Amino acid sequence: MSNALTQLSDDELAFQEAFGNFFKEAVGPLVHKMDHEQKLDPDMIKSFFEMGLMGIEIPESYGGAGGSFFLACLAVEEAAKVDPSVSVFIDVQNTLVLNAIKKWGSEEQKNHWFPRLAKDTVGAYALSESSSGSDAFALRCKATQSGSDWVLNGNKLWITNANEAGVFIVFANTDFDKGYKGITAFLVPRDSAGFSVGKKEDKLGIRASSTCELIFDNVKVPAANVLGPVGKGYKVAIETLNEGRIGIGAQMVGLADGALKAGVAYAKEREQFGKPIGQYQAIQHQLGQAATEVEAARLMVYNAARLKDAGKPFLKEAAMAKLFSSQVAERVASKMVEVHGGNGFTTEYPAEKFYRDSKIGGIYEGTSNMQLSTIAKMLLR
């Protein structure tokens, strides 16, 4: 990687290599089993905490790794090269949950949650509902004030990490007359009375990643658990998702790279008409095109992450990175199935899983159409 945007420092290169090797060794042998059982391995999750993967941006003073957003994206990319389900598990923890608390949390909340999130507690981000997908603020989940506390009632859908999470950032409306300006963010522990995790979705891809319904039945939340100001939940959501889209971009780059590497390896070993198929120009051109697109997507994701870390505007770049990387992931994964031929259509090879996993990239954390609208609005300002 010689381009300036993708050039990594010595520390970043060491981080990338260490975690790349870790994912291959610790996650690689479990991928097929976890996909089949639709469940992440509990011992593997423990190892993520031990390696510091679940608290990359948490300051060292709270027990975290004290790393940058860019490092978190590198970890997400490396994980996706092996298993995109594992990648999104790490991604939600770092780019959504930790970033939201880091920016909007009180010192009391940071002191309480950061050491836990770094050590053994998984976080989840609960915004979506049946009525609110791309229209993220059409929330029906309600928060009613009761003395100094709040009481939550309603449901959430499609919540990543729900089965494993010990704390949820939940968005609910405290005043429907104010529309989106009534939305408030709450930190809700899993053991809260009246709270339960409902149905787990049976998905096309990233099947080991839990995606579940959340149910709130008169769940009492102390005022101390309000994340950010009351009525400013929409800002918490928007600003966190803008960062999270870069993380999804990193996941899609890793997925595309993993699929490409699988295709290259197969092209070297599979022989037809007396020689490896990688020696045929038709296969070479497909690999060359895929490699070019993966590198272009990586450039966009790294650039957006660098801008975020530098405190510079990155909204347009994040939307572009998420849009393009998800398109590249789907194209490359599809082509690598074809490179594998009939074997690419079987679960014996990784190509079909990368292809199934790629489809979600253009859907979650903002559909491709929403990214196009964001990009256009930024251009037209």
Tell me: pLDDT of 83 over 50: yes
Identify the band that residue 380 occupies on the pLDDT scale cut at 50, 70 and 90: very high
Question: pTM to 2 decimals?
Answer: 0.96
Identify the band that residue 6 occupies on the pLDDT scale cut at 50, 70 and 90: low
Tell me: pLDDT of 375 over 90: yes
Identify the band that residue 167 occupies on the pLDDT scale cut at 50, 70 and 90: very high
Annotate the chain with three-state secondary structure: CCCCCCCCCHHHHHHHHHHHHHHHHHHHHHHHHHHHHCCCCHHHHHHHHHCCHHHCCCCHHHCCCCCCHHHHHHHHHHHHHHCHHHHHHHHHHHHHHHHHHHHHCCHHHHHHHHHHHHHCCEEEEECCECCECCCCCCCCCEEEEECCEEEEEEEEEEEECCCCEEEEEEEEECCHHHHHHHEEEEEEECCCCCEEEEEECCCCCCCCCCEEEEEEEEEEECHHHEECCCCCHHHHHHHHHHHHHHHHHHHHHHHHHHHHHHHHHHHHHCEECCEEHHHCHHHHHHHHHHHHHHHHHHHHHHHHHHHHHCCCCCHHHHHHHHHHHHHHHHHHHHHHHHHCHHHHHCCCCCHHHHHHHHHHHHCCCCCHHHHHHHHHHHHHC
CATH superfamily of the 10-121 domain = Acyl-CoA dehydrogenase/oxidase, N-terminal domain (1.10.540.10)
235-380 belongs to which CATH class? mainly alpha
Question: What per-residue confidence (pLDDT) applies to 3?
Answer: 47
Percent of the chain whose predicted confidence (pLDDT) is above 90: 96
* Residue range(s) of every CATH 1.10.540.10 domain in the chain: 10-121
CATH superfamily of the 124-231 domain = Butyryl-CoA Dehydrogenase, subunit A, domain 2 (2.40.110.10)
* Residue range(s) of every CATH 1.20.140.10 domain in the chain: 235-380
178-196 residue pLDDT tens: 999 999 999 999 999 999 9
Q: Which of 57, 243, 293, 365 is catalytic?
A: 365
Question: What per-residue confidence (pLDDT) applies to 5?
Answer: 59
* Residue range(s) of every CATH 2.40.110.10 domain in the chain: 124-231
Identify the band that residue 1 occupies on the pLDDT scale cut at 50, 70 and 90: very low
290-341 residue pLDDT tens: 999 999 999 999 999 999 999 999 999 999 999 999 999 999 999 999 999 9
- Does 201 participate in catalysis according to the annotation? no
